[in-house]
Every structure is written in structure tokens, then in C-alpha cells.
Structure 1
Amino acid sequence: MKLLTRNELTLMLVWAFHDEKVESAINPHVDAHTLYCNVMALPVAEAAAVVSHARSGNVPPSDPVALARWTRGLMMLREMLTQPMCTLSIAEPEPMVRASAAA
């Protein structure tokens, strides 16, 4: 998987925690669940900052300490998401098969 930009990752986190409400969803979207599991694997302070601010949609945080934890959490999460066993379908380009089938 390609390395996501901070903005792309931020949008995906807000989508998962704020829009999809992955923490309480009965059957969450697979990508939201993948993000959730990886965030929970972060150190406690960084995970708390990411969850809190993604949940509220208040990103990046204005408090300097929260901003430092948010930034460190994002950087660690970006690295985790590039691992071979971690894929997000919403971050991948559409397969060419669909485009050729429509023609």
C-alpha cells in the first residue's frame, strides 16, 4: 500500500471514528475496523489523542501537547499501515477490470 499523506490519514480517521462510529458499530466497515485496530496498537497517549480528536473531528488539535501526540500517533500509524498484512481498500485505486468492462 502507498504511504498515505497526513491529510489522507486524517480524513480516514475522522471517517472511521466520527462518521462510521467504528467503536460502537455492530458491523463496521472493514477499513474502519482496520484503522481502529491499528490505532489501538499505538502507545496509550498517542492512541488517546488520535481517538479523541478523530471522534470529535477536531483535527489537528490546537493544544501543543495534544498536537505533539496527534502528530506522533499519525506518523506511527502511517508506518503501521504500510506493512504487508495491512491493507485498506479505500486507499487503493479502482481496479482496471471495471473500467474495461464498462467500455
Structure 2
Amino acid sequence: MATDAPARRWASEDGDRAQRRRETVADMRLYVEIGLTPVTCSECGVEAMVKKNSEKHTSVQWTPDGVTACPEIQAARAADPNALVLGCAKLRASIEDAVRSGQVVVPDV
């Protein structure tokens, strides 16, 4: 008796892949779009979008203009054009101030 088990398996795997893709898109949206708050650097005025996911985890979305306008990032890139610059200490301090003031909320985890 012939069976279509291989065809069902492939259909199931395609469905699993599609589900993972939908979940990945939803996760990306959650972490890089939803719940972001604008924070302005008290030093240079550059604005970035910020989200606290926990006390220790902060997501920062820089705008292209923000990256080029930040003096700390530009100094690091001037010293080494290939430098991987992960952020700005002055913006980090502004984010900490925003958390203390309640502008940026740290969720209860």
C-alpha cells in the first residue's frame, strides 16, 4: 500500500518554517519597534529610540543622522574607520537619567 508520508512530512516542515518566520518577524517588531521611547543625549542633543527590556538590558535604535552627529561615535570612527562602536557613554548616562525620571520604564520581569 502506497503512503504519502514523505509529502505530509514536507508539508509539515514548510508549515513549521512559515510559523518560525512569523514568530521571528513578531519578535523583531517587539524588540526594535514596540515600546521605544525617544531619549535625547544631554551632551550633544542626538536623539535615539530606547527600550528597557530589563534592568540590565537596554535596546537602543540609532537613526542614521544620530550616528553621524554623535561626537563620541565620530571620534571612535575617526581613530579607526573599521571600529565597531557599540554606543555612547554620554547617551548611556542620559538613558539612566531617563529611567530615574520615569521617562523610560523598566518592566517588572
Tell me if both proteins adopt one fold, taking TM over 0.5 as the criterion.
Answer: no
Q: TM-score, normalised by structure 2?
A: 0.30
Determine which structure has more spread, i.e. the larger CA radius of gyration. 2
Q: TM-score, normalised by structure 1?
A: 0.32
Q: Which has the higher contact order (CA 8 A, sep 6+)?
A: 1
Looking at secondary structure, tell me which structure has more strand per residue: 2
Looking at secondary structure, tell me which structure has more helix per residue: 1
